[in-house]
Amino acid sequence: MDEIQREELAGRRARLQAYMEQENMDGCLVTQNVGLYYWTGSMQSGYLFIPRSGESTYYVKKSLVRALKEAGVRTVELGSFRQFGAKLAADYPETFAAGAPAIGADLDVLPAQLFLRLQDAVPSAMWKDASSIMRKTRSMKTASEVAAIRRAARIAADALEEGLQQLKEGMTELELMAIIENSMRRQGHIGLMRMRGYNQEIMTGVVAAGEAAAVPTYFDGPAGGLGLGASAPQSSSARPIRRGEPILLDIGCCVDGYTIDQTRTAVIGEMPKPQLRAYEVSAAIIRKIERMLRPGELPEKLYQAALDEAKASGLADHFMGFGADQVKFLGHGIGLEVDEWPVLARGFNEPLEPGMVLAIEPKFTFPGIGVVGIENTYLITVDGFDTLTVSPEKLYAL
């Protein structure tokens, strides 16, 4: 790891330490793989302890050999988990000398069983939920993170074009998805897109046509897709793609751990007029949000603006899902995980800041017919935004 990378990792830890100071936490324990990678540069099994001030330590279970090569932070062997508390106290005497240090952890993703073991291993700690300050820290992207998302965007655009060039009537959703995935994998897509939400999984996205795209599912998004059965109830199915029906192309690509998220809509032949109008409203919402997209704007205000536009068009019942399966957001932060902060939804009232990356996805769902919409990924800049998505924003009529 070069010195520039080490400095960036140190800066990330320093930002978290500033939040810890505000929350009166004496330290933070990072347990999740994505967090370990974000703050150390390595994703080996173990725990990262970040004190309120001073040097952090990465306690590695496996593989220590690889972590020592990759990590940009002090790295040591974890050893016996039962002795973890004693090791922390020995390494950070000032933190643990007071008797009951307030230690934050990523409790939104930490399994309950492991949390109980941590309580036993570090009995002197007063555990606090640090997941919000961890997510706030990660919402601000550095230049290197943005560069990785740009590379993913380029790959996704190339793969989409390759897929559409081979699309023909009668091809199954899965066949089209396989062409797109194959193209992305050849160019460096790691093969998965990580999610933080409990029991939330995602494949490369959703490539689905007609009524199959509108089939509701557990996935916390406006479109799930029929999928390949109850064991994989989302994304592409073995259903043939037909002429004159909406084709939803909601794909992501992950390069060096960082993800782009984009949606385009296609049709073989002509789009039915109601769905064509809904697509045009999606485009109008995107343009309206872009006019508001700048530092200082409130995420919940952007969401409300989209709701107002959908209501004015008479399509509110179809916006971001249908009926009980509608989702209550317009977009989300994205980076190492698909579901990062901030969320463009009610209750998110901290202003946007330069460095945030957002996927904004106005979509309309028509049960029994299909889903149409657009999704672009944006970087918030000091004076507005930069569109990271590369694919042309248009209705692909083939």
Clarify whether residues 277 and 128 are in a common domain.
no
- Percentage of residues in the chain having pLDDT higher than 70: 100
Q: Say how many domains are in the chain.
A: 2
Clarify whether residues 338 and 363 are in a common domain.
yes
Clarify whether residues 197 and 276 are in a common domain.
yes
CA angle, residues 248, 394, 317, in degrees to nearest 5: 50
Clarify whether residues 393 and 246 are in a common domain.
yes
Strands 57-62, 74-77: pairing is: parallel
Q: What are phi and psi of 196, to 5 degrees?
A: -90, -30
Clarify whether residues 115 and 204 are in a common domain.
no
**Residues 170, 214, 221, 267, CA torsion sign:** positive
Clarify whether residues 264 and 196 are in a common domain.
yes
Clarify whether residues 158 and 27 are in a common domain.
no
Q: What is the CATH number of the domain that holds 235?
A: 3.90.230.10
Clarify whether residues 90 and 112 are in a common domain.
yes
Clarify whether residues 62 and 131 are in a common domain.
yes
Which H or E run includes 22?
A: helix 3-23
Which tokens is 393 given?
Answer: 């924003």
Strands 395-397, 370-373: pairing is: unpaired
pTM beyond 0.95: yes
Q: What is the CATH number of the domain that holds 47?
A: 3.40.350.10
pLDDT tens track for 125-175: 999 999 999 999 999 999 999 999 999 999 999 999 999 999 999 999 999
Residue 194: its pLDDT value, please? Answer: 97
Clarify whether residues 159 and 124 are in a common domain.
no
Task: Please give the residue range of the domain that contains residue 390.
Answer: 143-397
Clarify whether residues 107 and 192 are in a common domain.
no
pLDDT tens track for 353-374: 999 999 999 999 999 999 999 9
* Cis before 63 (ω within 30): yes
Q: Which residue among 73, 106, 138 closes a domain?
A: 138
pLDDT tens track for 92-137: 999 998 789 999 999 999 999 999 999 999 999 999 999 999 999 9
Reported as a pLDDT band with limits 50, 70 and 90, residue 310 is: very high
Instruction: Give the contacts of 163 (CB within 8 A, at least 6 positions apart).
Output: 176, 177, 179, 180, 183, 207, 249
Reported as a pLDDT band with limits 50, 70 and 90, residue 1 is: confident
| pLDDT at residue 273 tops 80 | yes
Radius of gyration for the chain, computed over Cα atoms and rounded to the nearest angstrom = 22
Clarify whether residues 248 and 265 are in a common domain.
yes
The answer to whether the beta carbons of residues 13 and 50 sit under 8 Å apart is yes
Residue 98: its pLDDT value, please? Answer: 76
The answer to whether the beta carbons of residues 331 and 307 sit under 8 Å apart is no
Calculate the average pLDDT of the chain: 97
Q: Which residue among 87, 106, 138 closes a domain?
A: 138
Specify which residues 384 forms β-bridges with.
Answer: 381
Q: Which residue among 106, 122, 138 closes a domain?
A: 138
